[in-house]
């Protein structure tokens, strides 16, 4: 009986250790992501594509998240204004 209890305790300890290791690995991979800066032209191209087809297809084509396409859609006017200001 004592062996069974100690075996279960050891198994739980090893399970929790492997869980914490996998959590650490996933946190490392999330924090090591590189940020990519997209040009105004690329953002506008992605927004136009999303307007013509869909947010999901634009997301796949341009390799960004769907929510990023939505944010760019919201900021479209400021992108156009900035592009115009840069060309002057």
Distance of CA 88 to CAs 7, 41, 45, 79, Å?
Answer: 75, 16, 21, 15
- Give the model confidence (pLDDT) of 39-76 as tens digits: 999 999 999 999 999 999 999 999 999 999 999 999 99
Residue spans of the domains in the chain: they are 1-32, 34-88
Task: Give the three-class secondary structure for 27.
Answer: helix
- The domain made up of 34-88 is a member of CATH 1.10.3720: no
Angle between helices 55-62 and 40-52 (to 10 degrees): 140
End-to-end CA distance of the chain: 83
Q: What is the pLDDT of residue 42?
A: 96
Q: What is the pLDDT of residue 47?
A: 97
pTM comes to: 0.60
- Give the model confidence (pLDDT) of 51-60 as tens digits: 999 999 999 9
């Amino acid at each position: 009986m004592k062996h069974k209890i100690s075996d279960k305790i050891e198994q739980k300890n090893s399970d929790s250790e492997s869980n914490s290791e996998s959590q650490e690995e996933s946190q490392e991979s999330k924090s090591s992501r590189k940020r990519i800066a997209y040009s105004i032209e690329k953002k506008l191209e992605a927004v136009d594509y999303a307007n013509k087809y869909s947010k999901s297809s634009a997301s796949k084509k341009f390799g960004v998240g769907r929510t990023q396409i939505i944010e760019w859609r919201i900021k479209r006017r400021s992108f156009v204004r900035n592009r115009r200001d840069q060309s002057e």
